[in-house]
Amino acid sequence: MGRIKKKGTSGAAKNYISRTRAVKKLQISLPDFRRLCIFKGIYPREPRNKKKVSKGSTTNTTYYYTKDIQYLLHEPLLAKFREHKAVAKKIGRALGRGEVGDAARLEKNLIPKIKLDHIIKERYPTFVDALRDLDDALSMLFLFANLPSSQHIPAKTITLCQRLCHEFEHYVIISHSLRKSFLSIKGIYYQATIQGQDIMWLVPYRFVQRTAGDIDFRIMGTFVEFYTTLLGFVNYRLYTSFGLVYPPKFDKKADEEGAELAAFQLQGKTISGAEAATNGKVPDAATSAKAQAEVDKLTASENVEDEAEETSTALVQVDEEGNTDVIDKFETTAQDADVLPQPQASSAEIASLFAPFTFYLSRETPRAPLEFILKAFGCKRVGWDGVLGEGAFTTKESDSSITHQIIDRPALPSGALSEVPDVPETVNGGAAPPKAQWPRSTMPGRTYVQPQWVWDCINQGKLLRPDLYAPGAELPPHLSPWVKPKKGEYDPTLPLEQQEPVGEAESFEEEEIEEEEEASDADDALAVDGKGMNIDAIVDRDSSVEAGEGMDVMSNDDDEDEDDDENEPIDDDWEGFESEAESEVSDTEVARRQHQHELEAEAAGVEPENKTLSAKEKKAEIRKKAEKKKLQEAEERERLKMMLPQRKRKLLKRIEHGTEKRDKEAENLRKKRRRIEKAREAANAL
């Protein structure tokens, strides 16, 4: 006879351990246990059967894998935590005795410093693993870089996050790794492709952030401590692989004046004393001869930059006229066919999208994201107003080299501004100075666009028409580049005629007419009520008596009315009352009778009357045909559904529920768009 197993010593009860038992086993406090689990990437687990794990208890308990806790027993950070606890006791005793100097000395000399280098190497054996886990790290660090300092968030942590984020942005700029971006309610989404890995992160808008009291900043601070170490290693690897010195030189004075990206000066490893310009002009130096040849090629391309700027406008016009070098697009011939994948431009062409242009950012535009995006897509010269900070290519709005100006203010009427004071007619050299700029006047030859033009251009990989994004113009919809419309869903980029089913427009017009009639009836009733009449007292005089009038006595006038009725001629064509069955004739019966009349007319040798239908009748006929076809399809579907087994029938029912829900959402969106377009047409007609 085998030995009887004791309950709770094998199976699920042995594989899981509660948090209380884990803390006792590691002999650390609960905050240190949480911190250690965040560093090591150990998270709570949910057992399949909690009763087996908890030996029949139903209390809500947090469980971990026993192997994970056993793995933590040999972690070197446990010794650091215990040393920190011992020093904290000594500091507390010194403060209790009033020895502030001794407490400061103990804190400065004996507090152990925790390093997470070995944990980074354990969790990410290869560099690709670190890149795959970089999304959350970048989002968290960019969030803390925009938070104000407080007692929970020290200023040195915010400074460290800002420095690491700017270093990463510099690498994205010089490597042209940025691919897409999207303006959302939460913030600005960016996607970069680094060594074949797509990395997406979120940057919040620069508003005044108010940190609530219900946020546990200790947990978030632990994540920030780990992510700063991770991003520091990633930046070092990216810079060295690109042939740059890490960390880059940092100009503290320029950073205090708001230079941000321009406060960093990148250096090549093999080029001594060759520092990059603060506005994004960096020589890509490398250790090998092949990389040095690439640097020489880039330097030669910068020399012909001015020529490219002069010919950029002509090149764009040639492409719009149908140049053969433009990438072909595959269009579907059938209406319900699948969307074919379109070929995309090469990364080199996309990286130099804004290379020939010089941009100027107005005061009201978001400088940081625009500067980052423009430089990441090849623009070397970005200027802005002096109030936005240092590091601009030019702070003069009247600079003649500016080709594009980004503004985000409404167009004002001509008489809304005061007159501009006179300026001297000539300056040094005899050239006339430019006049006052936007919104008083515009510079000839300069393109004025709104900020959305930049995002839409990079998402579509080409330069869009700037007149659609002119100041004060109604902008086209800004759509997410990661969401592709599926078959049957609403697509805001297509006109309504191409995506609405047959008869939907006609039914929508009928609904609008009915709503207008109901609204007019309600207005008439309110108007009658406003004249002092009681609507509830109005009753049919032929069938009842008004309240308060009493019985009316027959008068001579009534006799005269009866005599008049008797003298009226009786209609001989009257055939009795029409039954409900005859009044409610189906559409099929009407069509059958019409066909019968046509046959009788043809047999008698008489041509049938060709009745011309009005536009309203044509729309009603189209709607009826669409509804009839839809009803026939539904009946056919129900007939086929009855032939399926019950299990497949239930599955088909769930599929149809999802499809109907999707179609209903698309229909509501189309109705909303149709109302907006109709209101816009009415406004334009006025």
Ordered structural domains, the chain, with CATH: 16-75 (no CATH), 117-299 (no CATH), 304-317+349-412+436-482 (3.40.50.10190), 484-523+615-686 (no CATH)
Structure tokens belonging to residue 262: 């321009």
Tens of pLDDT, residue by residue over 78-101, are: 999 999 999 999 999 999 999 999
Q: How confident is the model at residue 272 (pLDDT cuts 50, 70, 90)?
A: very low
Rounded Cα–Cα distance for residues 387 and 397 (Å) = 13
pLDDT at 316 over 50: no
Give the 3-state secondary structure of residue 190: strand
pLDDT surpasses 60 at 392:
yes
At 29 the three-state DSSP class reads: coil
Structure tokens at 315: 């090149």
According to DSSP, the residues that pair with 17 across neighbouring strands are 64
* Position 283 pLDDT exceeds 50: no
**% the chain with pLDDT above 90:** 36
Mean pLDDT over each residue of the chain, to the nearest integer: 77
Of 13 and 421, the structure prediction assigns the larger pLDDT to 13
Interior CA angle at 493 toward 488 and 495, to 5°? 75
pLDDT tens-digit map of 530-589: 554 444 444 444 444 444 444 444 444 444 444 444 444 444 444 444 444 444 455 667
What average pLDDT does the segment 367-373 reach? 95
Mutual angle of helices 155-175 and 134-145, in 10-degree steps = 120
The pLDDT, as a whole number, for residue 27 is 92
Which region among 174-183, 190-199, 541-550, 653-662 has the lowest average model confidence (pLDDT)? 541-550
Please check the confidence at residue 642 and state whether its pLDDT lies above 50.
yes
The H or E element that residue 16 is part of is strand 16-18
* Residue 331: per-residue pLDDT: 64
- Taking the C-alpha atoms of residue 94 and residue 102, their distance in angstroms, rounded to an integer, is 7
pTM greater than 0.75: no
Cα 64 from Cα 18, distance rounded (Å): 6
Mean pLDDT of 24-52: 91
If pLDDT is split at 50, 70 and 90, which confidence band does 682 have? Answer: confident
Question: What pairing do the DSSP bridges indicate for beta strands 264-265 and 249-250?
Answer: antiparallel
Choice between 530 and 455, residue whose per-residue pLDDT is larger: 455
- The long-range contacts involving 116-124, CB below 8 angstroms and separated by at least 24 positions, are 116/39, 116/225, 116/226, 116/229, 117/229, 118/76, 119/39, 119/40, 119/77, 119/226, 120/229, 120/230, 120/233, 122/40, 123/40, 123/41, 124/230
Return the minimum-mean-pLDDT range out of 173-182, 193-202, 417-426, 616-625.
Answer: 417-426
As to burial, measured by CB atoms within 10 angstroms (0-12 exposed, 13-18 middle, 19+ buried), residue 457 is buried
pLDDT value of position 525: 65
